[in-house]
Chains A and B, each alone.
Chain A
Amino acid sequence: MASRTDIAHALRAGLLALVLLAAPRFAAAAPAWGGMWWSLGGAYSSTKADCRDCEEQEYVDTGSFIGRVGYAVSPRVRLGGEYTRTFRQQTGPDATLSTVSAVAQWNMVRAVPIIIEVGYGISRASYSVEENGNVVGIHRNGIALNLGVGSEWPIGPVAIGPYGAMYVGGLGDVQTPTTVARDVLVLSWFAGLQVTMP
C-alpha cells in the first residue's frame, strides 16, 4: 500500500505536470530575457539523507525558501546565483539543507515558457540521528547540485510561475557518536511558486 509520503509526492508531481502543460497558454505575453533579473519563491519540500550501506531513510516534509539574482546573457539563457533553505520541522527529526549555488537557466523555445535550471555550489546540511535513544544533531558542509524546471507567467511588471526542483548535497563521510556514515548525500525535492522580475 502506498505510504502517505508516496501519495504526497505523486500529488505534487501531478500538480506540477498540469501546471507546466498549461504554461504555453501564457506564452504570447512572455517578454524576452535581457539584463538583470531576480526571483523569490516558497515551496513545499521533502528532504532525506542517505549514505552508503545505510538503511532507507524517510522523507521529512517542510517548507522552503528560494532566492535568485543574475543576468540574462541571451534571450534564452540566464546566469546567476541562488540561495535556498529548507525550514526546520517544529517537531520530529531535523533534516534541513541550505545551498548557495551558481545557476544557469534556459528557455529553449520562447513559445513554450518552460524554464530549465541547473546549478552547482556549496551546501550545508543539518540532520538529527537517533542512536541508543539519544537524538544527535549533525552539521556538515559539502557540494550542492540542483536541477529544476518551472515556468513564468507575466502579471504586470513581474512574472509568477510554478517551479519544481531537486537539490542534492554531497557531504562526504559524517562522524556520528558511534559510527561513520559513509558518502552521505542529502536529497531535497521542492515544489512551489516563485515571483520573478524578468
Chain B
Amino acid sequence: MFLLAFCALLAATPPSATAAQSTSSDTTQYSVPVRSVPLAVTEALGANVILNLFDQATHAHPEEFKVSWQSVWDNIQEGFEWDDNHFTTNNFAHPYNGNIFFNAGRSNGLSYYESMPLAAAGSLTWEYAGEVNRPSFNDFINTTVGGIALGEMFHRTAATIRDNRATGMRRVWLETAGFLVDPVGGFNRIFRGEVSRVYANPQERDPSALSVWLRFGVRSRGDQDFRFGSEATGSVTDLRLLYGDPWGEVKKPFDTYSFRIEAASADSGFLNGLRGEGAIVELGHPDEKPVMHRYLLTQCFDFFDNAAYQYGGQSVQMRWMKRWKKTENSSFSSMVGAQGIILGAVNSEHVGLTQRSYDYGPGLGTDVLLVWMRHGYPLLRGEYSIAWLDTKAGDNASHWLHRGDLEATYLFTDNLGASAAAGYFRRDSYYDDAPDVHQWSPEWRAGLTLRTH
C-alpha cells in the first residue's frame, strides 16, 4: 500500500521546474471548486447513515446500531461518557472517520475553517444518533480534531495525486489513487463528472515544494537492557510526505505540512507510527529574504504504538524555526515546539476496563528538531520530544513520554539512497494509587531510501 501511494505520487508529481513556474504565474490558471453548503452537510450526515446501515448489517452486535427517537432522547438526557473501545479504534479509526466529515466540506468548495464544523457536526450526530450507546466524550474530540488534521492533509495529498489534465490510463490510475486517499473527494468528482473532464488543476496541486520519501529495510527494537533479539527484528516501511516549503509563506492552513506513516512486521502493532503536522498560521512574518527564522502555529496528529508505549493525541503547537545557511549546498536548521495537547491517550496498567487499557487526558509537550541539509536533502536529522499527560479518564496518573531519533541519509542519485537511524522511546507513569511504571525501548533501522520531489 505504501509502495502504491509512493508510485501514485511519483507519477503525479510535476517536474520541479514546472512547479516553480506554476507558483510564480497568474493564479487564474487554477480551477476553483463549486461551493455548496447543502451538499456538504448532506454528505457529512449521509456518511453516518451509510455507516450505521453498514454496522447494522456487519457488526457483531447489530443491536447497538438500531437507533430510534427514544435512543436519541436517552442519549441527550444521559450525556457524554468516556468510552472503553480499543486503542486503535479510538485513536485512529475515529479520526479517520472525522476526515470523511471534514472532506465533505473541503470537496464541496468550503475552506479549512468552514469545514471544521462539519467534522464536529458529523461526529456529534454519530455519537447521539448513529448508535444506541451513550455519546462518547473522547470520540467526539478525536473525531473532530483528528478529522480536521487528517482531512486537510488527505485533501491536499489527493489533490497532488490527481491531475485534471491527464488522460487515458494514467488518469484512471491517478483518480483511483486519489479516491483511496480522499474517498469523499473522489465520490464528488464522480458525482460531478470531474473524473473524466480535462480542465485546470486546483491550487492545492501546486505546493511551493513537494517531496515524498519511501524508506524500507530492517528494524530491530531492543528491551530495557538494550538487548536486540530476533523476535523484535523485522521489516519496516516508512512513508514521508513534505508538502509545501516549510520556509515559504503560509497563506492558508496546511500550505505546508509533513506527514509520516510507519509500519513494521515485528512490534506491538502493524501500524507503528503516524504523525502529521501542518502550519495553521504564521505569527509575524519576518521582513527578511531569504527567511531565516519564523514562528508558526501548527496542528498535530499523533499515533504511536510501540514496545515502550501507545500514544494517540490531538494537539496544537507553537513552533519556532531558525536556519543557518553555510554554503550554497549546505544549511543547518532547528525547530523548537511548545505543544498544547487537547486530548491524548497513553497506555496504562491499572485502568480496569474490559477493552480499554489506556488513560485519557490533556497535556503539554515540547520537541526539538535539528537538520543538516546537504544538496537539498537531510543528510543528518535528530529530534527529541517530551509529552506530559494529566489523566482525566482512567487511572489518576501523570504520564511522561519521551521519543528520540537520530537519522543519517545519503543519496547516491537524485532518487535513490540509503539511511540508518537509532531511536528511543520511553514512558514514565506516576500513579496516585498504584506502583509507578518506567518502560523504554531502543531501536535501530537501516535500509534503502527512495525520493521523489
Contacts and interface: CB of A to CB of B under 8 A. Distances in A.
A109 interface: yes
A37 to B, nearest CB: 16
A170 B77 contact: no
A116 B117 contact: yes
Contacts of A160: none
18 contacts: A52-B81, A52-B82, A104-B113, A106-B114, A106-B117, A108-B37, A108-B114, A108-B117, A109-B37, A116-B117, A143-B361, A145-B137, A168-B80, A168-B137, A172-B361, A172-B390, A173-B391, A183-B81
A187 B342 contact: no
Contact of A187 (B80, B117, B144, B392): B80
A48 B394 CA distance: 21
Nearest to B343: A143
Contacts of B395: 173
Interface residues of A, number: 30
Interface stretch (A63-71, A72-80, A82-90, A128-136): A72-80
Contact of B79 (A143, A173, A187): A187
A145 B140 CA distance: 10
Given A118-B144, A120-B342, A172-B392, A185 B79 contact: yes
B393 interface: yes
A172 B359 CA distance: 10
Interface in A140-198: 142-143, 145, 147, 166, 168, 170-173, 183, 185, 187
B394 A104 contact: no
Contacts of A173: 391, 395-396
B265 to A, nearest CB: 36
B444 to A, nearest CB: 38
A77 B79 contact: no
A180 B387 CA distance: 27
A166 B394 CA distance: 23
B124 A172 contact: no
A56 interface: yes
B39 interface: no
Interface string B386-405: 00001111111000000000
Nearest to A172: B392
B116 interface: yes
Given A172-B392, A185-B137, A50 B81 contact: yes
B132 interface: no
Nearest to A120: B342
A106 B116 contact: yes
Contacts of A52: 81-82
Nearest to B110: A108
B202 interface: no
A147 B124 contact: yes
Contacts of B78: 50, 56
Interface string B66-104: 000000000011111110000000000000000000000
Interface in A10-66: 48, 50, 52, 56
Nearest to B395: A173
B246 interface: no
A52 B80 CA distance: 11
B392 A170 contact: yes
Interface string B99-127: 00000000000010110110011001000
Given A73-B113, A77-B113, A108-B114, A145 B141 contact: yes
Interface string B429-443: 000000000000000
B79 A48 contact: yes
Interface in B117-158: 117, 120-121, 124, 137, 140-141, 144
A111 B77 CA distance: 32
Interface residues of B, number: 31
A6 B76 CA distance: 11
A9 B79 CA distance: 13
A185 B360 CA distance: 13
A74 B113 contact: yes
Given A118-B120, A145-B141, A172-B361, 9 more contacts: A9-B76, A50-B78, A56-B78, A77-B114, A108-B117, A116-B121, A172-B392, A172-B393, A185-B80
Nearest to A73: B113
Interface string B372-396: 0000000000000000001111111
Q: Which 4 A-B pairs have the closest CB atoms?
A: A187-B79, A172-B392, A183-B393, A77-B113
B14 interface: no
A159 B319 CA distance: 38
Contact of B362 (A50, A143, A147): A143
Contacts of B140: 145
Contacts of A56: 78
A56 B141 CA distance: 24
Contacts of B124: 147
Given A48-B79, A145-B140, A185-B81, A172 B114 contact: no
Contacts of B113: 73-74, 76-77, 104, 106
Nearest to A9: B77
Contact of A147 (B77, B120, B391, B396): B120
Nearest to B432: A173
A147 B342 CA distance: 16
A185 B138 CA distance: 12
Nearest to B144: A118
A173 B124 CA distance: 25
Contacts of B121: 116
Nearest to A13: B76
A6 B70 CA distance: 13
A170 B390 CA distance: 12
B141 A172 contact: no
Nearest to A74: B113
Interface string B22-39: 000000000000000100
Interface in B30-79: 37, 76-79
A170 B80 CA distance: 10
B339 to A, nearest CB: 15
